[in-house]
Chain A
Amino acid sequence: MNFPDDLRYTREHEWARRKGRNVAVGITEYAQDQLGDVVYLELPDLGDAVKKGESFGVVESTKAVSELFAPVSGKVVEVNDPLADAPETINEDPYEEGWMVVIEPSDPGELESLMDAKAYQAFLEEQE
């Protein structure tokens, strides 16, 4: 499985990517594989406040419902609306086209507190 080096990761299997001052968020290849075919998702609205570690949306596969947890606190400044009509994008390209929201972080340092790719892979191996 692929876990890009330029991303940060959460224990709930979201990834976070620095995008200028902001942070793009999606779910990892591991997460989409565990879920299976994604068929539905609920994302926040533009301007919504999100809090690190708290739910900001839901992703559903044919079998399972899974909450999405914010990797950082802040304000939602972009939402990947086309995903609603093409949720399979999350399976096909979780790190690029499958991004979900962009957050303007309230604490720019929060991102650095997340796991890097190496730590996340070690975490996954522990879970197995």
Chain B
Amino acid sequence: MREALEQVGTVEEQPSAHIFILHRSPGVPASEVEAAIDALRTDSKIAFATPVLRDPESGTRQVLTDEITLRLKPGSASRALEAMKSEHGVIVGRHNEFEPTQYIVKVPNTGGTRTLDVARLLDERDDVEFAHPNYLTGIKR
């Protein structure tokens, strides 16, 4: 798989997150990158491909993943989660070990900025304290 991506750019590996960041080579059109990714997706070799964003304030990279950090308002747990599953198609993942009303929810078949869009929709719900993409975030040491 890495070889296929290296045809269109350089690959930066993030082993702990099982993520490759692809830097498109100069002169390679975006459509060629899309085609390479689509081929890998068709072969079920990748779970998702999302853009790398940049936070304008800190200048750090924000890699969108398929995860959203969701904090529910107290007392609205199971019914709210069920509603989110049916309305937005999200999958409830890890329950936070420190915060009793916090979860990681997954956005299936994500691509582009869909995780960000779903997070915004969840964040607007009355039963949600906050919902925000669980970015793979750049850290400045």
| A and B co-occur in one complex | no
